[in-house]
Amino acid sequence: MNETPTTRIVTANWDDPNVVGIDGYLAAGGYEGLRAALAMTPDEVIDLVKTSGLRGRGGAGFPTGVKWSFVPQDTGKPTYVVANFDESEPGTFNNREIIEREPHRFLEGMAIAAYAVRSHLAFVYCRGEFLWPGEILDAAIREAYAKEVFGPSVLGSGFALEVVLHRGAGAYICGEETALLSSLEGYRGQPRLRPPFPAVEGLYASPTLINNVETLATVPSILTRGPEWFAKIGTEKSPGTKIFSVSGKVERPGNYELPLGTPLRTLLEDHAGGVLGGRRLKAWTPGGSSTPMLTEQHLDIGLDFESITAAGSLLGTGAIIVMDETDCIVEAARRLVQFYAHESCGKCTPCREGTWWVSRVLGRIEQGYGRSEDLPLLDELGENILYKAFCALADGAVSPIESSLRYFRDEYEAHIAERRCPFTGVGPGGETATGSGDAIANDAGLTGALT
């Protein structure tokens, strides 16, 4: 392996199996960041995080310290902290590994955030399917109570903090912060109108800070090593490191923490072992399934918020799904849109209906029943979904449609012209007949009503 030098912050202790427990974490210098914070005023902590330039790692990249400063004080209501551990953006798996390997780093960051915004009650919204990570977290929270890290006097400071683990029950949309709040309040996980933003009126209509697990796990080191140290890593506008989750057609899928701004070429070739089987890279998502796909021509663009945005996509969660030259882009787009159709909460018509129709049209193209007018139809459907719905789930669904059409329109055209998938051969124009041809043809008739 020809590994380039790395700066590991959040994953620094991942090779040490002892840090999953609080004793090992304390021995490795754990909770020193919280001690440092408790010696400062809450406003000083907020200023320090602002100075570091840390941006949220959950997808939007909003400056963390600024978000903390938006939480109003003296409203007469309690203030809540909610940690978003509903990790479910396809391709993303770094929050899970943070919790499985070193849960206290996250809990420490959450306690610092609670102190900074003067909150005495923090919830961790844990994805339901994360049965085992949830058990680790539950045990870690109990350990922290036993060591008086949580409770009526955090590390003897007199600052009180209670932490409650709350498990979700299988709904991608609950990763959206307002849907998460609805779910935590005991309702269907449907998004709410913003403003008011959760900082002002969040959980139980009270001021609420919501942060992602990776964001919070980054905070302790900023306290112990200083904001200037952190700001020097990465790029000017995207300081620090990011844990990139690499999956799909690579030799060594996994989480790799690298300075923001590192190009995919470095990540892929020096860390993830290159494209599987030495094949050629075809397409990749920079930040999970809801970020527009990029291609080989973007290999040297820095993986940071501003560079990826300039390239027409989004850094999102830093989840890189790699497709190679043998993978069918129409099928990839179809599968991703099927995901959004399944996970649409049903509130907004463009999302609920649009994702369903797009997945059917993509399905018939993939099965060799596409028509020439399907491509303009997909363009139009995408336009009618994008920015037309309440939350970003619908916009995420448009990403695979729009970007795959932008870079691989010829592949769509080949499916339609050859009346089969050029990769699998499936379709009436191919050698492999499908059993469901009648159903797909019926679908084609139904969809005709749309045009």
Partner 1 sequence: MAVLSDGGRETAEAIIGRYPAGRERSAVLPLLYLMQSVEGRLTRDGLREVGVLLGITTAEVEAVASFYTMLRLRPTGTHVVSVCTNLSCALRGANEVFEAAHDAAGVEQGEDTSPDGEFTVHEEECLGACDAAPVVQVDFANHDRVTPERVVELVEALRAGEVPTPSRGRAPKDFREASRILAGGSGGSRNERVSANGSPPRAGAEEAT
The interface with partner 1 within residues 240-279 (CB under 8 A) comprises 245-249, 253-255
Residue 425 has phi, psi (to 5 degrees) of 80, 0
Output 22 or 54, the one with its CB closest to partner 1: 22
Tell me how far, at minimum, the Cβ of 202 lies from partner 1, in Å: 12
C-alpha distances out from residue 102 to 28, 160, 248, 253, Å: 11, 23, 25, 20
- Is 21 a binder of partner 1 (CB under 8 A)? no
Output 90 or 302, the one with its CB closest to partner 1: 90
Rounded-to-integer distance, Cα 152 and Cα 37, Å? 17
Output 218 or 344, the one with its CB closest to partner 1: 344
Output 237 or 347, the one with its CB closest to partner 1: 347
Q: Which stretch binds partner 1 (CB under 8 A): 5-13, 136-144, 217-225, 235-243?
A: 136-144
- Is 215 a binder of partner 1 (CB under 8 A)? no
Output 304 or 331, the one with its CB closest to partner 1: 331
Tell me how far, at minimum, the Cβ of 278 lies from partner 1, in Å: 16
CB atoms within 10 A of CB 238: 24
- Is 343 a binder of partner 1 (CB under 8 A)? yes
- Is 42 a binder of partner 1 (CB under 8 A)? no
Strand-pairing partners, residue 175, are: none
Number of chain positions touching partner 1 (CB under 8 A) = 76
Element (H, E) at 122: strand 121-126
Q: Tokens representing 28?
A: 């490795």
- Is 347 a binder of partner 1 (CB under 8 A)? no
Q: Tokens representing 190?
A: 């449907």
Output 95 or 307, the one with its CB closest to partner 1: 95
Rounded-to-integer distance, Cα 292 and Cα 400, Å? 6
Output 222 or 330, the one with its CB closest to partner 1: 330
Binding mask 110-129 for partner 1 (x = CB under 8 A): ---------xxx-----xxx
| Residue pair 155/26 in contact by the 8 Å Cβ criterion | no
Q: Which stretch binds partner 1 (CB under 8 A): 15-23, 51-59, 145-153, 236-244?
A: 145-153
Q: How far apart are the first and last CA of the chain?
A: 54
| Residue pair 11/255 in contact by the 8 Å Cβ criterion | yes
- Is 84 a binder of partner 1 (CB under 8 A)? no
- Is 356 a binder of partner 1 (CB under 8 A)? no
Q: Which stretch binds partner 1 (CB under 8 A): 140-148, 298-306, 354-362, 381-389?
A: 140-148
Rounded-to-integer distance, Cα 82 and Cα 285, Å? 28
Tell me how far, at minimum, the Cβ of 374 lies from partner 1, in Å: 21
- Is 100 a binder of partner 1 (CB under 8 A)? yes
Helix axes 94-101, 213-225, angle to 10 degrees: 60
- Is 101 a binder of partner 1 (CB under 8 A)? no
Q: Which of residues 274-313 bind partner 1 (CB under 8 A)?
A: 289
Output 25 or 123, the one with its CB closest to partner 1: 123
- Is 225 a binder of partner 1 (CB under 8 A)? no
- Is 342 a binder of partner 1 (CB under 8 A)? yes
User: Burial level of 142, CB count in 10 A (0-12/13-18/19+)?
Assistant: middle
- Is 401 a binder of partner 1 (CB under 8 A)? no
- Is 89 a binder of partner 1 (CB under 8 A)? yes
Tell me how far, at minimum, the Cβ of 239 lies from partner 1, in Å: 26
Output 65 or 287, the one with its CB closest to partner 1: 287
Dihedral over Cα of 66, 68, 74, 79: its sign: positive
Rounded-to-integer distance, Cα 61 and Cα 78, Å? 27
Rounded-to-integer distance, Cα 122 and Cα 114, Å? 7
Tell me, what DSSP letter sits at residue 61? -
The closest of 449, 339, 448, 443 to 394, measured between CA atoms, is 339
Binding mask 368-397 for partner 1 (x = CB under 8 A): ------------------------------
- Is 188 a binder of partner 1 (CB under 8 A)? yes
C-alpha distances out from residue 336 to 293, 300, 400, 408, 424, Å: 11, 25, 7, 16, 18
Q: Which of residues 322-341 bind partner 1 (CB under 8 A)?
A: 323, 327, 331-332, 335-336, 339
